[in-house]
Amino acid sequence: MDKVRVATVWFSGCAGCHMSLLDIDETLIDLLDRIQFCNSPITDLKVFPEDGVDVTLIEGAVANEEHLEIARTAREKSKIIIALGDCAVTGNIPALRNGMSPDRMIEAIYGPETTTNGELPYDVVPRLLDRVRPLHEVIPVDYFLHGCPPPPGVIAKALLALLDGATPELVGDDLKFG
C-alpha cells in the first residue's frame, strides 16, 4: 500500500505544536506504517517534493514574506492543508505585534542605535508583513486544529481519521468524525 505523504511547516510559532505532534507517542509509530514524512522540521527536508504531498500541517502565523511564499507553495503542492494550533488558526501570540510598525521594529532591533554597523539585514532576514495573519487569510485551509497547542490525542485522531477517509468536525471542544 502506498504511504500517505505528509509535510509539516513551521511559521511564526514556538514549535510547541510540532512537539505536540511528536507527543502522540506510540500512535506515531503506528502512523509511520501508513504515512511518510516529507519536508518537515522533523526530517529537516526543506523543499516540497516535485509531485506534491497529500497532507500538510502548518504551525504558526504568517508573519513575513518568506512565510507567505511557502504558504502559497504548500497550497499548490498539497491536497489537504491543516492549520495546526492557534497561531495558525487565529494569529494568536505572534499577532500581538499587529498595530506596531514593522519598519520601526526592525530599526529598533538592527538599526544604528542598537548594532555596530546599523545595517538592516534584509539580505538574510525576510521582510515582515504589515501585520501577522492567520493562515486562512492567505491561502484556503481545509481543516483547523485549535489549541495552544492542540492536544496530542486530537492531532492523532485527526490524522488517523483522514487516513481512514473520514471527515473531522469540531463539536464543542472535541473532534468527531463522520
Nearer to ligand SF4, 14 or 163 (CB): 14
Question: Is residue 40 involved in binding ligand SF4 (CB under 6 A)?
Answer: no
Question: Is residue 13 involved in binding ligand SF4 (CB under 6 A)?
Answer: yes
Candidate residues 7, 9, 17, 159; the one interacting with ligand SF4 per rule CB under 6 A: 17
Tracing cell 492523532 back to the chain, one arrives at 156
Total residues contacting ligand SF4 by CB under 6 A comes to: 13
Nearer to ligand SF4, 16 or 168 (CB): 16
Nearer to ligand SF4, 17 or 70 (CB): 17
Question: Is residue 42 involved in binding ligand SF4 (CB under 6 A)?
Answer: no
**Grid cell locating 60:** 504558526
As measured in angstroms, the least distance from the Cβ of 70 to ligand SF4 is 16
Question: Is residue 91 involved in binding ligand SF4 (CB under 6 A)?
Answer: no
**Is there a contact between 57 and 8 (Cβ–Cβ < 8 Å)?**
yes
Window of 82-90, 97-105, 128-136, 137-145 that interacts with ligand SF4 by CB under 6 A: 82-90
Question: Is residue 14 involved in binding ligand SF4 (CB under 6 A)?
Answer: yes
As measured in angstroms, the least distance from the Cβ of 136 to ligand SF4 is 15
Q: What is the DSSP string of 116-159?
A: SS----TTTSPPEEEEEE-GGGTS--SEEE-SSSPPHHHHHHHH
Return the H-helix or E-strand segment holding 60.
none
DSSP H helix total and E strand total for the chain? 6, 9
Show contacts with ligand SF4 in window 106-135 (CB under 6 A): none
Site of interaction with ligand SF4 (CB under 6 A): 13-14, 16-17, 59-60, 85-87, 92-93, 148-149
